[in-house]
């Protein structure tokens, strides 16, 4: 069974979208685990409204990569810097 962890940063829209995503994934049979636990897939819903939020988003991606190097990391949300960011 595939496990998925989701982390959400930012506004109420991001919170709503992550909850909808979690509901859809559970309905399709995926097992949801807390962020930071070992997961096959890690989804990070980012925020870039402020410089601090953008920093936290990048920090969250690095943390997920370091703590679970075999996870597939999916970055979504409003931060657009990922194609240039070295992990």
12-46: per-residue pLDDT in tens? 999 999 999 999 999 999 999 999 899 999 999 99
- pLDDT value for 7: 95
pTM passes above 0.85 = yes
Tell me what pLDDT residue 81 has.
Answer: 61
What average pLDDT does the chain have?
Answer: 89
Lookup result for tokens 């990391």: 73
* The pLDDT value given to residue 65: 93
Residues written for the chain: 87
Closest CA relative to residue 16, chosen from 42, 45, 56: 45
- Residue whose pair of structure tokens reads 């949300």 in the numeric block: 77
Look at residue 53 in the predicted model and tell me its pLDDT.
Answer: 86
């Amino acid at each position: 069974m595939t496990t998925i962890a989701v982390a959400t940063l930012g506004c109420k829209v991001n919170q709503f979208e992550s909850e909808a995503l979690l509901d859809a994934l559970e309905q399709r049979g995926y097992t949801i685990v807390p962020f930071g636990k070992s997961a096959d897939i890690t989804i990070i819903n980012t925020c870039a409204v402020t410089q601090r939020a953008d920093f936290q988003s990048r920090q969250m991606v690095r943390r997920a990569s370091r703590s679970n190097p075999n996870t597939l990391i999916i970055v979504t949300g409003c931060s657009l810097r990922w194609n240039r960011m070295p992990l």
